[in-house]
Structure 1
Amino acid sequence: MNNLAPDSKHAIFWKANKSEAANGREAIVPTGGILGGGSSINIMMYARAAASDYDDWNTTGWASEDLIPLLRKIETYHIAPGRATHGYNGPIHVSYADYFAQIAQEYLDVCVKRGIPKVEDLMDLYTGHGCAHLAKYIHPETGQRQDAAHRYIHSQSHNKRLHIMTKTLVRHILFDGIKAVGVEVIGNKNQDKDADQTPREIRARKLVVVSAGAIGSAIVLQRSGVGQATRLSELGVNVVADLPVGANYEDHSSCVITYHVADDVETLDPVMERYPGVMERYLAQFAHGKGFLTSNVNDAGSKIRPTEEELERIGPAFREVWKRQFESAPDKPVFIQTIVNGFLGPRTAVPEKSRFMMLGNIAAYVSIFDPFVLPGITHECKHTGRQPISRGHVYITSANPYSLPDFSTGFFEEKADVEIQMWMYKKTREIARRMPSYRGEYAPLHPKYPKSSSASCVRLDAPPPSDMEDLVYTAEDDIAVEEFVRQYGDTTWHSVGTIQMKPKEKGGCVDSRLSVYGTENLKVADLSILPKNVGSNTYSTALLIGEKAASLIAEDLGLVLP
């Protein structure tokens, strides 16, 4: 997790605008600032979208039947042989690794008792509800991360046609009329304060392909004159193509809930607190691909869909989302939940020599109508309830490459997003309270309940009783839970959608071959092209886009891929 710490040299931290819906906070969204991008700093959790997520894009060549062969091509799946949607000869290794936490098994046991069935393959593309031992992007023999840099790029170090420039910033794309002919770059002062600021041109013989992520690619295109014409003109940027670049930012909201566990439970906490001898012992095991450090401390999890009774309790705003997105698609989870073996935040936020578990709740959707299928509604209008609202956005504020963008995440501007996180907080708590290692809620990172509340946090010295009843929340308690969600709900680092792959008349910026409308020889190949977020962590989909882009580019250039 050091890669995501505030002083990390491997991440880029984007500060969003203050949001009333998030208690006036300025969300911080980290993205990869290292070769391999987010794959080099993520939590290595193996998660894949539902098949219907891809079908929902409604784009020729991008349906699930088109993409499953590429998903198989990507991976070497070590979990079990012969599974139809998995691959067994790809560059990315998928395994359970060597370690499985005690609290992960407790979590699975309780989930089953609470009506969440244990399944063999939670990531088969068709299972929308169940719990499982979670696979990881970790090599089963070495225990090493399976990032794109090591699995795709470093293996090509012998290739004389491959040139990589690190600590380099793209100022803008070079155009000859509407034809992309190269890029202009400078040294990146954010990574090297003495970096050379002399502009250099890199010319392209065939194509310019932008792959800077949902935030970075939107910024590069806008600085280059590809974006909303009125905005760019006001900034003195010459307009090449008038497109809604940056207008449809999406991310999954999340809430991570912290609980005390018994002092004898093995967790990440002694490592984070640098207990004497602990790291040395673990490193000795890891040298042989064994032990605690082969795990991502994320050993079990669930995909969750509410029952009819739970839908009644969640609230009317989410009921509309359910009807629109989930009711007829049983492969879609509403939430992805994982149990984390330790406290991943700053140690100053918790008492010394304490041990914790965290349950992370990731909303696997964005509760927004597509404005282009609702007559009379434009994509810039903002409403609540049953009406569409604007998503987040990423707009440049200057042609200066060091200027910070106008960035909004859109978190919790829709009532349904709040309702569902409140419900999931309560559901999560009932799971945690029944785990044998549970020793109470860590109160500073839970709702501030009224003193008289029967739902107040507790601290236990022994395992919880086996016959406990579910907590009952009053209207006052719900106010506290909503306040908590708005205060602590955050990014899941799943930024997508700022350069959408759709027909131009429906707000699209690129076509099904990833070519930017209104330009020539310019493509975008990253998560920014998603017409709609997937109900999953996004690394798998990022790899998928890379494979699809490679095949499309090869076709355009008349090449045959191996």
Structure 2
Amino acid sequence: MKKTEDDLLRAIEQLGFPIIDDLQDTAIGNLGFERQVKTVTTEGKRLDAATAYIHPLLNDGQHPNLHVLCESKVIRVLFDEHKRAVGVEYTPNPEYMIISTATERARMTVKARKMVVISCGALGSPLILERSGVGSPDILEQASVSLVADVPGVGSDYQDHNLVFWPFKTNLGPADTLDALWSGRMSPEEAVANRLMQYSGCDMHGKYRPSKEEIKEMGPEFEKHWKAEYQDYPSKPLMITASAAAFVGDPSLVPAGAYYSLGSYTAYPKSRGHIHITGPNWEDPPDLETGFFTEAVDVTKQIYAYKVIREMMRRTSMYRGELPIGHPEFPAGSEAVLVDLDAPLAGDFEKPLGKIKYTPEDDKAIEKFLRKHIGTTWHSLGTCAMKPRHEGGVVDKTLNVYGTQGLKVVDLSICPENVAANTQITAYTVGEKGADIIMRELGLADAKQEGMNLNGHLLV
């Protein structure tokens, strides 16, 4: 909302960060803060991939070859004796369907004449490949799956944007944040009347780097990392921050109120994880290791971001202190101790505008909180990377899975490295480019000129 946008951006500007109209405009640089761009139609409706890409094709009557099978789970890809993908085996998903008979539990197949395209994300696609016999021989042997193609990189190099939201108390009203709606204190009808149904709660997005003085304060290990991966790339952000007009969590854990949160996520985490199958069936729980904070420099980055975020909120008009449930517990007497401007003992205490000076003990308190609460941004990628096979790659430059024929992966799992942004647009870009590649290989390159939708063919 404009009120909270203006308030937050004024505070950010006070800290010396630039305010930019478009962070993606590389002509002016991509370090700074912007008003969050929102995907809202002229009718006031928010958009997503399904409503923008799939639903129009299902409803236009011009794509009889497009079939969407919901509430089903892909088990594996089927291959012939030449390692060509010839179909997919799937089963009804009991998480969404009532399975009552053996027939309903049966494994069913869809045959493919041209190719099979997997698009199940960084968590789903590597598991399907491994259940199909594509992956590391050692992992497949342990899972009792016969080897089809030796591709050791499948499921490795899991990456994400390590995320934590820091909540603050505010003087905002119930129609200024999403708390009342999320907690059930506001009805959907009231939310529509207050235009909250078209509000994502995100007002601001920013990318930033530490100053030379801050880099020194972050220690020799971080300095070494900085010189190797950031110093010579002046437009590469260290951290990304986005706002959320709400307490991001279970509303029953906090008193009724209007809260505001700032999230910090690591643009390019050094830490890596993995995901692998543990058995041949889709019900077998996967071996997932996020790898968060396995590299100490990633903790240092988040400690730095916390200090920046607190200074931002302390300078806003809405700020009334920190919500204790979402912040570290600092030692008594610390300058970093949490503030409550509405507490009876606060009296006429004014908002602190001087920067907090953190001690090593304060940094330990922040690290302790981070290690307990760091989470995912749902920006998973990297587990079927597009790079040379001998370097751990899974797909080649045209998205073909190494060691197989007629099989492609088209989703964020192919990204070999992270992106300094929300990965939504990257996912759309991968999909569009994948569709273009597939159309050319199928001899449909002229379909675009004939008015046929790229994404329709990708999904067929």
Q: Do Structure 1 and Structure 2 share a fold, with TM-score over 0.5?
A: yes
3-state SS of the aligned residue for 1:517?
coil
**Amino acid paired to 1:181:** V
Distance 2:2 2:239 in 1: 22
Distance 2:413 2:353 in 1: 46
| Partners of 1:257 and 1:359 within 8 A in 2 | yes
Question: Does 2:219 align with 1:315?
Answer: yes
Question: C-alpha displacement at 1:165, in angstroms?
Answer: 0.7
Which deviations, in whole Å up to 9, do the C-alpha atoms of 1:103-147 show, x marking residues without a partner? 2211100111101111111122563311111102222x1232322
Unaligned runs of at least 5 residues, structure 2: 449-460
Determine the structure 2 residue equivalent to 1:551: 436
Determine the structure 1 residue equivalent to 2:183: 273
The counterpart of 2:312, out of the listed 419, 431, 435, is 431
1:324-403 matches, cutoff 5 A:
324-351=228-255, 353-367=256-270, 391-403=272-284
1:101-180 matches, cutoff 5 A:
101-125=2-26, 127-139=29-41, 141-157=42-58, 158=61, 159-177=63-81, 178-180=83-85
Question: Does 2:128 align with 1:223?
Answer: no
Question: C-alpha displacement at 1:463, in angstroms?
Answer: 9.6
Distance 2:180 2:125 in 1: 39
Distance 2:185 2:164 in 1: 28
Question: C-alpha displacement at 1:332, in angstroms?
Answer: 2.1
Distance 1:452 1:465 in 2: 18
**Amino acid paired to 2:114:** K
Determine the structure 2 residue equivalent to 1:532: 417
The counterpart of 1:250, out of the listed 137, 141, 159, is 159
Distance 1:255 1:184 in 2: 38
Distance 1:463 1:210 in 2: 61
3-state SS of the aligned residue for 2:299?
helix
Distance 1:523 1:464 in 2: 62
Determine the structure 2 residue equivalent to 1:404: 285
| Partners of 2:241 and 2:263 within 8 A in 1 | yes
Which deviations, in whole Å up to 9, do the C-alpha atoms of 1:53-101 show, x marking residues without a partner? xxxxxxxxxxxxxxxxxxxxxxxxxxxxxxxxxxxxxxxxxxxxxxx24
Distance 1:200 1:174 in 2: 11
Distance 1:120 1:168 in 2: 43
The change in CA–CA distance for 1:469 and 1:545 in structure 2 (over 3 A counts) is same
The change in CA–CA distance for 1:264 and 1:203 in structure 2 (over 3 A counts) is closer
**Amino acid paired to 2:162:** S
The change in CA–CA distance for 1:212 and 1:432 in structure 2 (over 3 A counts) is same
**Amino acid paired to 1:107:** L
Determine the structure 2 residue equivalent to 1:40: none
Structure 1 window deviating more from structure 2 (404-413 vs 473-482): it is 473-482
The counterpart of 2:365, out of the listed 441, 458, 480, is 480
**Amino acid paired to 1:342:** A
| Partners of 1:302 and 1:336 within 8 A in 2 | yes
Determine the structure 2 residue equivalent to 1:458: 339
Question: C-alpha displacement at 1:279, in angstroms?
Answer: 3.8
Determine the structure 1 residue equivalent to 2:113: 205
3-state SS of the aligned residue for 1:293?
coil
The counterpart of 2:149, out of the listed 231, 241, 262, is 241
**Amino acid paired to 2:19:** K
The counterpart of 1:182, out of the listed 71, 87, 91, is 87
Aligned residues: CA RMSD: 1.8
| Partners of 2:159 and 2:290 within 8 A in 1 | yes
**Amino acid paired to 1:129:** L
The change in CA–CA distance for 1:471 and 1:354 in structure 2 (over 3 A counts) is same
Structure 1 window deviating more from structure 2 (214-223 vs 549-558): it is 549-558
Question: C-alpha displacement at 1:429, in angstroms?
Answer: 0.6
Determine the structure 1 residue equivalent to 2:456: none
1:94-105 matches, cutoff 5 A:
100-105=1-6
Which deviations, in whole Å up to 9, do the C-alpha atoms of 1:329-359 show, x marking residues without a partner? 23322111112112131112111x2221100
Distance 2:118 2:173 in 1: 50
**TM-score of the superposed pair, with normalisation by structure 1:** 0.74
Which deviations, in whole Å up to 9, do the C-alpha atoms of 1:367-420 show, x marking residues without a partner? 25xxxxxxxxxxxxxxxxxxxxxx200010000111110000000111100001
Distance 1:408 1:491 in 2: 12
Question: Does 2:393 align with 1:508?
Answer: yes
Which deviations, in whole Å up to 9, do the C-alpha atoms of 1:472-507 show, x marking residues without a partner? 112221111110111111111110000110011211
Determine the structure 1 residue equivalent to 2:457: none
Unaligned runs of at least 5 residues, structure 1: 1-99, 286-290, 369-390
Question: C-alpha displacement at 1:316, in angstroms?
Answer: 2.6
3-state SS of the aligned residue for 1:292?
coil
3-state SS of the aligned residue for 2:126?
helix
How many residue pairs were aligned? 433
**Amino acid paired to 1:441:** E
Q: Sequence identity of aligned pairs in percent?
A: 38
| Partners of 2:314 and 2:352 within 8 A in 1 | no
| Partners of 1:118 and 1:131 within 8 A in 2 | yes
| Partners of 2:92 and 2:105 within 8 A in 1 | yes
**Amino acid paired to 1:118:** I
Distance 1:166 1:436 in 2: 47
Of the two, which has the highest radius of gyration?
2
Distance 1:155 1:125 in 2: 33
Distance 1:361 1:421 in 2: 7
Distance 2:198 2:208 in 1: 27
